[in-house]
Amino acid sequence: MKTAIIKRSIVLDGHKTSVSLENEFWDGLREIAERNRANVSSLVRQIDHERKAGNLSSAIRVYVFNHFRARNKSEQPAAVEQPVRQPALSA
């Protein structure tokens, strides 16, 4: 499966930069921004300031992935632990 990479320009701290992401990541980024009542530019600015290393596109992918992974985990019902049965001892 091949997905197109979309390049968009974003203004960060007064300078224009280009970010290349797959459309699915752009969609995820927009969804996260809407849920936070923010715009995509401010969310990208936050990601940019918090990243430790790597390029901005990679940092955005990791952020979006981690966001949805954490959300998925919180929506999963907790596993119910079954008691461990000990085998009966024979005399």
The domain segmentation of the chain, as residue ranges, is: 5-72
What pLDDT does 31 receive? 97
Q: pLDDT grade, residue 87 (50/70/90)? A: low
Q: pLDDT grade, residue 69 (50/70/90)? A: very high
What pLDDT does 91 receive? 55
Contacts of residue 67, Cβ cutoff 8 Å, sequence gap at least 6: 28, 32
Choice between 78 and 48, residue whose per-residue pLDDT is larger = 48
The residue-averaged pLDDT of 50-68 equals 94
Q: pLDDT grade, residue 4 (50/70/90)? A: confident
Residue range 5-72 forms a domain whose CATH class is mainly alpha
Helix (H, G, I), strand (E, B) or coil at 74: helix
